[in-house]
Structure 1
Amino acid sequence: MLENKLKNEYSLYLLEHKNNPVAWQPFTYQITETAEKENKPILLSIGYSSCHWCHVMADESFSDNETAEFINENFIPVKIDREEYPDIDKKYQFFLQIIRQMGGWPLTVFTDPDLTPFYGGTYFPKNEIQGIPAFLNVLKAVSELYKNNDSKLDKIRGNYRNFIKRFNQTDSDFNDFQNYTKEKEISNFMDQADRQQGGLKVNSKFPNIPVMNYLLSFAENDENIMKFLKKTADQLCSSGIFDHINGGFYRYCVDSSWNTPHFEKMLYDNALNAEFLTKLYDFTKDPLYLHIARKAADFILEYFSTDFGLAASMNADSPDENNNLVEGYYYKIFENDIPANFSENEKQLIHNHFVFKENVLNLQDIDYEKYVKIEPVFEKIQNSINKEKPVLDTKVIISWNMLFVNTLLTLSEMTNDEYYFQMAVNLYNKVKNYLINDDGSLFRIKYHKDLAFNHRTLEDYAYSIDTTMRMFEMTKDRVMLDFAVKLTKKMFEIFRENGVLFFDTNHDVSDTFDEAVPSAFAVALKNSEHLSEISDINGDIVGKLKDFGADRVLKFPAGHPTLLNYFKFGV
């Protein structure tokens, strides 16, 4: 019988599950041998440390002895930190889309011993709620399916493999893209725009920065687009998605009015949101946008800094007065968090501008001057809070750190503030020193002085090259250019095959889509073409990648704002 082996891991997410009665195994590709030997399907559970619903499922099901006993008897349970293995996560999130399930975390997928998926979902409750089946019932049904229904499983496997094969076929190239009109491009995104509330037309509000950056390319000459972008930016600056008291952006809001957030704070969100606001400030000169961008950047620099770079995230959950983990407890403002020493003027500011939605501070009727006047009130509230802070996941992820370097460089350009430029250079050098080797090979994660996580994805190379090129453009330091060339050649060596840049080193995951972060493929292609014009990077290789990217854009335009931006504007 397998035993829980997570106690020897370094991932905070995995360590949070080391005492589960579930016999969790850390992910390696050798797990297929164990599953084959025991003739059991694999249960893949994928999440991350700051994810609230990951904690809920762990408390409800993975800590439950009855559930754990069934899992251990009938499955090979594997726990994966999505931040260590974003390639594995992408593969199985895509599987959920294929079977018409909503993606997200925790991601729960059942696979054959060879890791071919046949069923999945996200959060399953211990007891059935709102039509979501109880997890133990799901486990029993999947186990029964695997043991006694070979014909149905064969059909599911065949459908999955055929879909992947069809999906990856290409029949267009960049020449075909030349007929793609600007009007058609814009409509793909503006048709999704929520012009009343900002953001896109979905019940939960994500910033969707790749889409916003694409539309920003048209905004100067299109009043409707500019109005929409400003509405979205106004929400980022005044709603519950920004922590006005403590600083930093939350990941998203669970309602269409941006009132109530999902409380985890991710490094990549803060990087992208701050950079978008800074770019929009360059068009609008609205000082509130730049002010909130600086507050977000300053928050990250103060609270996410480690000896090796910037930490990955801050938890959504924190202990309440009974030491129970509660989502948003630290951030929500309760009556006893409000100090009594406000002046009459401060009380009037609170009356005029504060709106609490489920104990989350939102602001109304706000502009830059009013925001600055209110900040002493924020500081008084912050100083009165006597709660345990959420845990920081201190893993240093190279791709996310490089995104933040870019944000600091953008801030330095817009503000002429040498501080942000120096912070960018310091962070870049620190990350380069600890996570990139002289030969251009790199590590995705640094945990502590003696441990770098030996895994890499296209995202890590693409963002590192992009930031290195940005440093070259700003400093004209030839060393930066040479280093970008070295990284690009290594990237081609590891990820390129038959005109495709795969996301993973096994060439199993082909992904060109934007998500919360820009498409790694698009970022890699942009810099590769630029480098082919000024260095010895092979232009024929770049041309084939460009043809592949054009095929993806023509088939799925709404999923590729970053590629579209590059094809149209070179940015």
Structure 2
Amino acid sequence: MPNRLAHETSPYLLQHADNPVDWWPWSAEAFAAARERGVPVLLSVGYSSCHWCHVMAHESFEDDTTAALMNEHFVNIKVDREERPDVDAVYMEAVQAATGQGGWPMTVFLTADAEPFYFGTYFPPEPRHGMPSFAQVLDGVRRAWADRRDEVGEVAEKIVKDLSERQLSFGDGQLPGEDDLARALLGLTRDYDATHGGFGGAPKFPPSMVVEFLLRHHARTGAEGALQMAADTCERMARGGIYDQLGGGFARYSVDREWVVPHFEKMLYDNALLCRAYAHLWRATGSDLARRVALETADFLVRELRTNEGGFASALDADSADPVTGGLVEGAYYVWTPAQLREVLGEADGDLAAAYFGVTEEGTFEEGASVLQLRQGEEGAVADAERIAGIRERLLAARAERPAPGRDDKVVAAWNGLAVAALAETGALFDRPDLVAAAVGAADLLVRLHMDDRARLTRTSKDGQAGANAGVLEDYADVAEGFLTLASVTGEGVWLDFAGFLLDHVLAQFVDAETGALYDTAADGERLIRRPQDPTDNAAPSGWTAAAGALLAYAAHTGARPHRDAAERALGVVKALGPRVPRFIGHGLAVAEAALDGPREVAVVGAVGGAMHRVALLGTAPGAVVAAGPAGGELPLLADRPALDDRETAYVCRNFVCDRPTTDPTELATTLGTLS
């Protein structure tokens, strides 16, 4: 019989609706039940495309004996971390403080007042590798609760007190200067993997936000080393197994430092960020590889993640059904053996495909299978380009016959904001109006379904039904960024208006008026044991620095001083952390580059999509905002700016100083750093 999760909209929670565990969703009623029964709370946090979440569910939560222990001695709460990033952040901070590490699934035991007292992540069904079994953990916590309740309470109180006293150093509220950004670049150079690209060792994650900083730093200062690190990293990833060589799009991370074997889940946020990064790399260098990857990733987003309502689904699972056994196997959808290639392509094309994609008899993955890589330079296969394209099409069609990975269909506001920005800009740069239309469709859904009449955002929706959870800072910031990008691409002022509504809410609800620091949850939001606050990047830009970027761009569009002031104060955290941990505040460094450059305000009086508008969008000046349309059009930057001699005319200003207007595309390109 289904449990309470059957009434939820989260695909992750619905995956657990038929467990024998008597799960509750996160709710006041669950904690009230724990208080009434006099038992602790077992909080389990994960997400739908998490491989080890599935493993623990199969081993423990689907086991009747384990479920009976859980039901008898605990109130069990299941949380989708993608729906409730605030709950996840608060308890992950406690887990990391107590154990020195974190991850998912996250397992935390709480009092009825939501105070944590025992922590962990994955627990196996039997003792393994020095870890106790999950049953041993359950029994130990049960005994401690029964025999040492006062001690447990004291531990919980101390943990909450320690968390509440942790102070975040976010600088003096001053903008980072040239020296701060130079020191950040030096730190990145020290961590750079010159052999394989990227930063640090295994596992290796796509450094999207750092790449954006490096591209902007090169554009502003001419530092060739910054461009080289960005370009080499992007090329290594694009040729590696982390990139889907058939269908486009990137897996979550590489388990090795060479980008060969990925953890196969595909996330919306990664692909939106990387789509934009490769488009910007092409804009800076003209690289054919960057162009191809940007467009293939955009096409992947639209083809495989767009929902019936026009939004974008959160993720594709790493696991899919093995055609032989029927069991879920990581990577089964994506890997190939030489025999499988020959079966689809025939002997000659199969051998060519194996050589081209690095598929060997030994394999690069498990059981002799290989992840496809592009080991051979494309320039070396020019003569076979048409043949290779045909091979790709045939392999992609054959792969489509395999059991597909599951899809998490919930629409997350923040990640859809990132997708709107990526698709709108990629569509504009590569003359793909269909991609711009897809961005507009997702933006329409966000306005229609996720925004209420007070411009408050709902975090998620699914199948056209809005969820119950309030948006967090990253939702407001990333959706505003998507709307601002649409305004620049389409010339439609309504998107700037919507961005303004969201950013006004950020100023009112998320900014500390005294310090300028930002919180991840609204001042009038649900009270947790600690109000989460984190300026560092994780898999996506932090809400803090994403808000700084959106506030800065909005101020450039409108001249709104409160938004500019808030952005500058927020960037104090980049001054504090950028020189010390640049890999973890890449987006903040990119926003700081825009602030130091102005950012430039570009008004194009003339046709939206015309020659001068295109030159403006192709400019590499960091964070430049672009407004296009007729004189006195919908966007504020067009006010009181006539067309000269009835020709398309561009006005470029920064830091309260304007260049003379120009009707010459070459002159505008020189001003904005547009690649000739």
Under a length normalisation based on structure 1, what TM-score does the superposition of the two structures give?
0.91
**Aligned-pair CA distance for 1:42:** 1.5
Match of 1:424 in 2: 439
Cα distance in 1, alignment partners of residues 480 and 19 from structure 2: 40
Cα distance in 1, alignment partners of residues 248 and 593 from structure 2: 36
Match of 2:45 in 1: 46
Q: For 1:447, which of 459, 462, 469 is the aligned residue? A: 462
2:379 paired with 1:354: no
Q: 1:511 to 1:55 in 2, by over 3 A?
A: same
Match of 1:327 in 2: 330
Match of 2:162 in 1: 162
Cα distance in 2, alignment partners of residues 340 and 443 from structure 1: 46
**Aligned-pair CA distance for 1:284:** 2.3
**Aligned-pair CA distance for 1:376:** 1.9
**Aligned-pair CA distance for 1:404:** 0.8
Cα distance in 2, alignment partners of residues 403 and 245 from structure 1: 24
* Equivalences for residues 303-452 of structure 1 within 5 A: 303-308=304-309, 309-320=311-322, 321-334=324-337, 335-336=339-340, 338-339=342-343, 341-342=345-346, 344=348, 347-348=351-352, 350-355=354-359, 356-358=363-365, 359=369, 360-367=371-378, 370=381, 372-373=385-386, 374-385=388-399, 386-452=401-467
Q: Which runs of 5+ in 1 are unaligned?
A: none
Give the secondary-structure state (helix, strand or coil) at the position aligned to 1:480: helix
Give the secondary-structure state (helix, strand or coil) at the position aligned to 2:373: strand
- 8 Å contact kept, 1:102–1:122: no
Cα distance in 1, alignment partners of residues 131 and 49 from structure 2: 23
- 8 Å contact kept, 2:185–2:226: no
* Equivalences for residues 92-241 of structure 1 within 5 A: 92-149=91-148, 150-151=150-151, 154-155=154-155, 157-168=157-168, 172-175=171-174, 177-178=176-177, 181-219=180-218, 221-241=222-242
- 8 Å contact kept, 2:56–2:123: yes
Between stretches 218-227 and 359-368, larger displacement belongs to 218-227
Q: 1:28 to 1:461 in 2, by over 3 A?
A: same
Between stretches 254-263 and 100-109, larger displacement belongs to 100-109
Counterpart residue identity of residue 375, structure 2: Q
Match of 2:614 in 1: none
2:569 paired with 1:547: yes
- 1:475-504, Cα deviation, whole Å (9 max, x unpaired): 333322222222222333343444443212
Match of 2:601 in 1: none
Q: 1:25 to 1:552 in 2, by over 3 A?
A: farther
* Equivalences for residues 222-301 of structure 1 within 5 A: 222-301=223-302
- 8 Å contact kept, 2:46–2:53: yes
- 1:308-365, Cα deviation, whole Å (9 max, x unpaired): 2111111211112232111121222243464354474663353254234112212212
Between stretches 143-152 and 426-435, larger displacement belongs to 143-152
Match of 1:523 in 2: 546
2:588 paired with 1:563: yes
Counterpart residue identity of residue 20, structure 1: N
Cα distance in 2, alignment partners of residues 145 and 187 from structure 1: 50
Match of 1:511 in 2: 534
- 1:160-201, Cα deviation, whole Å (9 max, x unpaired): 52244232466x422485585333221332322222122221
Structure number with bigger Rg: 2
Q: 1:264 to 1:169 in 2, by over 3 A?
A: closer
- 1:108-155, Cα deviation, whole Å (9 max, x unpaired): 122222222222222221122222332222222333334444446624
**Aligned-pair CA distance for 1:379:** 2.0
- 8 Å contact kept, 2:211–2:230: yes
* Equivalences for residues 17-96 of structure 1 within 5 A: 17-96=16-95
Q: Which runs of 5+ in 2 are unaligned?
A: 596-622, 624-676
Percent identity, please.
Answer: 30
Cα distance in 2, alignment partners of residues 175 and 455 from structure 1: 31
Counterpart residue identity of residue 357, structure 1: T
Give the secondary-structure state (helix, strand or coil) at the position aligned to 1:440: coil
- 1:218-276, Cα deviation, whole Å (9 max, x unpaired): 34533333332222212221111112233321111112221111111111111111111
- 8 Å contact kept, 1:402–1:464: yes
Cα distance in 2, alignment partners of residues 176 and 496 from structure 1: 17
Match of 2:12 in 1: 13
Cα distance in 1, alignment partners of residues 452 and 495 from structure 2: 14
- 8 Å contact kept, 2:115–2:156: no
Cα distance in 1, alignment partners of residues 472 and 557 from structure 2: 26
